[in-house]
Amino acid sequence: MDKSLWLHDYQLKEFPSLLDDLEVDVLVIGGGITGITCAYLLRDEGLRVALIEQKQLMHGTTGFTTGKLTIQHGLIYDELLKKQGIEKTKLYIDSHLDAYQLMKNIIQELSIDCDYEERTSYLYTQSPDELPKLTKEVEAYQKLNIPHIQNPILNLPFTVEGVIGITNQAHFHVVKYLQALVNELEKYGDFYIYENTKVLQVKEEDDVCVTFLENGRKVRSKYVILASHYPVNDTLNSYFMKLKPSMAYVVASFYDKEFTEGDYINSEEPTRSIRTHPYEGKRILIIAGETHQCGHSSNDKKHYQNLTDFGRINFNMESPLFMWSTQDYETFDKIPYIGSVNKSNPKILVTTGFKKWGMLTSTLSAMLCRDIILNKQNNYLDLYSPCRLSDKLTGKFFAYNLSGVARLIGDRFKNYDKSLAIESGKGKIISYRGKKYGIYKDEQGETFIVEAICPHLKCILTFNNEHKTYDCPCHGSRFNYKGEYLDGPAITNLKRIKLVKK
CATH superfamily of 22-65+175-242+334-393: FAD/NAD(P)-binding domain (3.50.50.60)
Q: Where are the beta strands (DSSP E) in 86-235?
A: 117-125, 149-150, 162-171, 191-194, 199-205, 208-213, 218-226
pLDDT on residue 418: 85
CA 67/CA 369 separation, integer angstroms: 22
CA 230/CA 64 separation, integer angstroms: 16
pLDDT on residue 295: 74
pLDDT on residue 44: 84
Q: Where are the domains of the chain?
A: 22-65+175-242+334-393, 412-497
Amino acid sitting at position 120:
T
CA 401/CA 244 separation, integer angstroms: 9
pLDDT on residue 1: 56
Return the number of other C-beta atoms located less than 10 Å from residue 302's C-beta.
13
CA 299/CA 302 separation, integer angstroms: 6
Q: Report the predicted TM-score, pTM, of the whole model to 2 decimal places.
A: 0.92
Nearest to 109 by CA among 101, 117, 99: 101
C-alpha dist (Å) from residue 193 to 22, 30, 49: 12, 10, 9
Cβ atoms 15, 185 nearer than 8 A: no
Architecture of domain 412-497: 3-layer Sandwich (2.102)
**Ramachandran assignment for 83, one of left (phi > 0), alpha (psi -120 to 50 degrees), beta (any other):** alpha
The residues near 431 (Cβ < 8 Å, ≥ 6 apart) are 415, 416, 417, 418, 437
CA 358/CA 322 separation, integer angstroms: 21
CA 72/CA 66 separation, integer angstroms: 14
pLDDT on residue 489: 85
Tens of pLDDT, residue by residue, the chain (502 residues)? 579 999 987 889 999 999 999 999 999 999 999 999 999 999 889 899 999 999 999 999 999 999 999 999 999 999 999 999 999 999 999 999 999 999 999 999 999 999 999 999 999 999 999 999 999 999 999 999 999 999 999 999 999 999 999 999 999 999 999 999 999 999 988 899 999 999 999 999 888 999 999 999 999 999 999 998 887 765 556 788 888 888 899 999 999 999 999 999 999 999 999 999 999 999 999 999 998 887 776 666 899 999 999 999 999 999 999 999 998 989 989 999 999 998 888 999 999 999 989 999 999 999 999 999 999 999 999 999 998 876 666 677 667 766 767 787 777 778 888 888 899 999 999 998 889 999 999 989 899 999 999 998 899 999 988 888 999 988 888 999 999 988 888 888 999 988 655 4
pLDDT on residue 392: 62
The residues near 365 (Cβ < 8 Å, ≥ 6 apart) are 34, 37, 38, 227, 336, 338, 351
CA 386/CA 239 separation, integer angstroms: 9
The residues near 183 (Cβ < 8 Å, ≥ 6 apart) are none
